[in-house]
Amino acid sequence: MCGLFGVVGTQSLDLEAAREALISRGPDDSGTYRSDACQLIHTRLAIQDLSPLGHQPMLSADPTLALVFNGEIYNAPKLRLELEALGCTFRSHSDTEVILRGWQRWGDAVWPRLDGIYACGLWDEGRQILTLSRDPLGIKPLYVQERSGTLVFSSELSALQASGAATEPDQQAIAAYGLWGAYASPASALRGVQAFPPGQVAQWQPRGGLRTISQQDLPGASAPVEVPASFEAAVAGVAKRLRAAVEAQAIGDVPVGCFLSGGLDSGILAALLQDASLERVTTLSVGFRDLPGAEDESARAQATADLLGTDHHAIRFASADFDGLFDAFLGAIDAPSIDGFNTFLVSRAARQVGLKVAFSGLGADEVFAGYPQFSQWQRALEAPLRPRPRGLLPVQLLRLIKQEQQAYARRGLAAALDLRQIPFHGLGSSQRRRLLAERLQTLAAADSLAALSELELIGYLRDTLLRDTDAVSMHAGLEVRVPYLDQALIRYSLAIPGAWHLAEGPKTLLRRAFAHRLPQLVTSSAKTGFNLPLGPWLLSSPRFAPQRIAALLKPWGVPRRAVLASWAYLRAQPGRWQPYWRWVVLAEWLARCPA
């Protein structure tokens, strides 16, 4: 994992400032490439081939090609063998060189061959062409700005700010942030900067601008997959593919650890990672001290670690610790978000115990029907109800009278987005309808459980969970891998009949396949999620007073009533801190932006 930055064209930028902004993503090494038309910067977190032979930008022997790459290619050993059989020779053992040699041999046909998480920039000096590519799920970030005959790209918004390429926050994008608690891609927090589309390969030339060459679909969206013949075959197929994903992603020349929340998803990964490892795997969990009402899964995490025999580290925080960590979190998050603070805490802890790589259970809920809306949607599909007027009410309200299926019967899959909207957003009805339509328009179909999985994968997971996790973990110099988002596993899972996923409740197939590997304390517990006890802390600090937060947000068009309503909700229910936290993080991030 690394940080990358590049500029092609005529724009003059502060490249040293951009490099400094990316150092946390790559503390082990840094390099530059300069030609008349292109300048590239790379900071390296060395994981595969720790020697200087893995240095980037990596150049071809000519040297007409220069590659900067952020990510991991899990099938690099297999691709290396194919290339060697075709006569290619290698100097290093890095996956970066596999991409470079693969492009020299196969051209742009190399990109769909890659199985991994990646963002790449490849400059061809002879043809004066830049090629950009990003993994199909958008696990690794890539931002682009195109204007006045110049293209700038980067792993982080902070580097674009530091370089002077883009410094002004995007006021129009704040509306989506208010609704979802995150910026809705392709928009970003900076004006004129967009997230490069996942799965896309594009080329930039001085006279032609940025042009799409190819587009890989979300895994499972269109590729045909053999449907398992029976429920038992589906359980076996899931177990086989998840085990293969963990084994493939356990590669590298440094130890791989695992976040251990105390739940099913991370416990399964820890078990499979321990199976694939010759040494004791390091696991980490986060808990709390003297914080009444906090959801603390430390005991369950410890029970899992004891059963598996991992080297477990339980990190505990008190409310006073948040004061010293909040500003560091703002420096790490890269863009405002309602999420990410929990991953920030555990990522810091992982780095402090010496890890460079850790597994996370992200994606399990989206791929294996873990959220409540999956059960609601499947019931509506199996027994469609006659639409009634009350189906227009939010799912949250209808759930109180056990009528949430009416929302799905009346509004279809759009009803699931009720659970993703953050209350007290301050938007008008037309703004909100437009944002909902934008999130739904990418779905090819809306009549299966797989369609809801796709909606979660391209929405909440991509724009919030994956973006935040990458930002805060890489700021700590930690690479996070997500085996549940293995492409083959997703394709297989989305082809399985929805009823099988929910036959015995959420994540039935995972429980059937791996429950015997975990303590009963874990397998019998209901999903609770990771709930930080931030409410009392927010209420007690003058820094987060609603008058101050509202004043900071007023120039950006956030209605004062939205801030005050969120504050009142927090005071009434300190455990529901997310709506107000959304405005706090946005206000504090905007205050840090250059004037």
Domains of the chain: 2-215 (3.60.20.10), 231-367+467-523 (3.40.50.620), 373-455 (no CATH), 535-592 (no CATH)
Q: List the 58-59 sheet strands across, edge first.
A: 58-59, 65-73, 116-124, 129-134, 200-205, 209-215
What is the pLDDT at residue 221? 57
Residue (of 53, 15, 17, 46) closest to 33 by Cα position: 15
What is the pLDDT at residue 298? 84
Asked whether residue 223 carries a pLDDT value surpassing 70, the answer given is: no
Asked whether residue 160 carries a pLDDT value surpassing 90, the answer given is: yes
| Average pLDDT of span 564-589 | 96
- Alpha helix (H) residue ranges in 417-518: 429-440, 449-456, 467-475, 487-495, 498-501, 508-514
pLDDT digits (tens, 9 = 90+) for 568-578: 999 999 989 99
Higher-pLDDT residue of 361, 299:
361
Asked whether residue 406 carries a pLDDT value surpassing 90, the answer given is: no
Distance in Å from the first CA to the final CA of the chain: 32
What is the pLDDT at residue 483? 98
- Alpha helix (H) residue ranges in 353-484: 364-367, 372-382, 395-400, 405-411, 429-440, 449-456, 467-475
What is the pLDDT at residue 569? 97
| Average pLDDT of span 27-31 | 94
What whole-number percentage of the chain has pLDDT above 70? 96
| Average pLDDT of span 332-336 | 96
pLDDT digits (tens, 9 = 90+) for 82-139: 999 999 999 999 999 999 999 999 999 999 999 999 999 999 999 999 999 999 999 9
User: Chain centroid to CA 36: how far?
Assistant: 35
| Average pLDDT of span 192-207 | 95
What are the φ/ψ torsions at residue 73 (nearest 5 degrees)?
Answer: -105, 105
Higher-pLDDT residue of 66, 207:
66
Strands (E), 35-148: 38-44, 58-59, 65-73, 116-124, 129-134, 143-147
CB 252 within 8 A of CB 524: no
Single pTM value for the model = 0.95
pLDDT band at 442 (very low <50, low <70, confident <90, very high): confident
Asked whether residue 552 carries a pLDDT value surpassing 90, the answer given is: yes
What is the pLDDT at residue 461? 97
Calpha distance 328→339 (Å, rounded): 15
What is the pLDDT at residue 294? 63
What is the pLDDT at residue 584? 98
Calpha distance 241→356 (Å, rounded): 25
What is the pLDDT at residue 446? 67
CB 483 within 8 A of CB 244: no
| Average pLDDT of span 168-187 | 97
What is the pLDDT at residue 531? 65
| Average pLDDT of span 335-360 | 95
Calpha distance 19→221 (Å, rounded): 37
Max mean pLDDT among 57-71, 315-329, 442-456 falls in: 57-71
Of 274-278, 382-386, 399-403, where does mean pLDDT reach its minimum? 382-386
What is the pLDDT at residue 292? 63
